Amino acid sequence: MEAMQEDEVRGIIEREHWRGNSADLRLVKTFLELSLPGANLDFLMSEKNQTDTFADFDAMTDRLIDEIVQHIQLYNLSISRISFIGHSLGNIIIRSVLTRPRFRYYLNKLHTFLSLSGPHLGTLYSNSTLVSTGLWLMQNQKPGLQYFKNVVLVASPQDRYVPFHSARIEMCKNAIKDKHTGPVYTEMINNLLQPVIDSKDCTLIRHNVFHALPNTANTLIGRAAHIAVLDSELFLEKFFLVAGLSYFK
């Protein structure tokens, strides 16, 4: 096997890290369907961006809006509430959708935003050398979370792909010490959270997750914790039974 340089390895891991598909949230969908049998839920498992997750944000945002509108029209749905569940980069695309004029009609129907390991402040101040720092620094300044009734941020300190503070949208010690980028970080947090704080109808909830993980290479580099929020039946069952279901009733 031909040897690869460190940068090549890092690039491969980063690409695998951010690549997602419509089946990623299948267990989440299953738990909601089984736990809320009379809720008349309709699910859209987004797939428009799964073949090109490295396009620019405008393109991915447009694709998701198109997918949502087409789904509603195709099934002639009468929408009373809309909730979003995102993982990793998907959360940033969801937030971008909220800022678009084409989505303005649906803003008063937004109910719950469940963010699983979302890099809302980018990946600056990450403790992992496998993930590029500072991704989406400017993109993350867009507000919009205040339109939801519930904003639920799920984060794990074991996740080394998405910094704990980024998933929780809060300051970290390194940002406080950083005289250059720290003020920008503070501005990003204020732009995201101040509208939520000012809203009487929006509740912000943070959940910290500690997974029981096997001693593997994926655990060592932090990938296991990053995807455990998707494929750990133990976590999903406990999360929805203890707290998660209340956000969708």
Give the tens place of pLDDT for each residue, 114-140: 999 999 998 888 766 555 544 545 456
Q: Do 152 and 113 contact (CB within 8 A), yes or no?
A: yes
CA atoms of 109 and 79, how far apart (whole Å):
8
Query: Is 195 part of a structural domain of the chain?
Result: yes
Q: Is residue 43 part of a domain?
A: no
Of the candidate ranges 45-54, 66-75, 114-123, 189-198, the one whose mean pLDDT is the lowest: 45-54
Please report how the helices 6-18 and 223-231 are oriented relative to each other, as an axis angle in degrees rounded to 10: 20
Establish if 30 belongs to a structural domain: yes
pLDDT digits (tens, 9 = 90+) for 145-197: 999 999 999 999 999 889 999 999 999 999 999 998 899 889 999 999 999 99
Distance, in Å, from the CA atom of 161 to the CA atom of 94, rounded to the nearest integer, reads 19
Tokens of 155: 């984060």
Measured CA angle at 121 (ends 208, 216), to 5 deg: 50
Q: Are 167 and 222 in contact (CB under 8 A)?
A: no
The CATH number that applies at residue 207 is 3.40.50
Q: How many domains does the chain have?
A: 1
pLDDT at 3: 39
Is 144 part of any domain? yes
- As a whole-number percent, the residues of the chain with pLDDT over 70 amount to 83
Residue 137 belongs to some domain of the structure: yes
Give me the domain span that covers residue 221: 6-37+52-247
- 46 lies in some domain: no
Query: Does 159 fall in a domain?
Result: yes
Q: What is the pLDDT of residue 8?
A: 35
Nearest to 240 by CA among 151, 109, 80, 229: 229
Domain assignment present for 44: no
Task: Supply the mean pLDDT for the chain.
Answer: 85
Torsion from C-alpha of 185, 189, 190, 191, nearest 10 degrees: 100
Q: What is the mean pLDDT of residues 209-231?
A: 83
Sheet holding 110-116: strands in order across?
82-87, 110-116, 150-155, 203-208
- Measured distance CA(248)–CA(55) in Å, rounded: 31
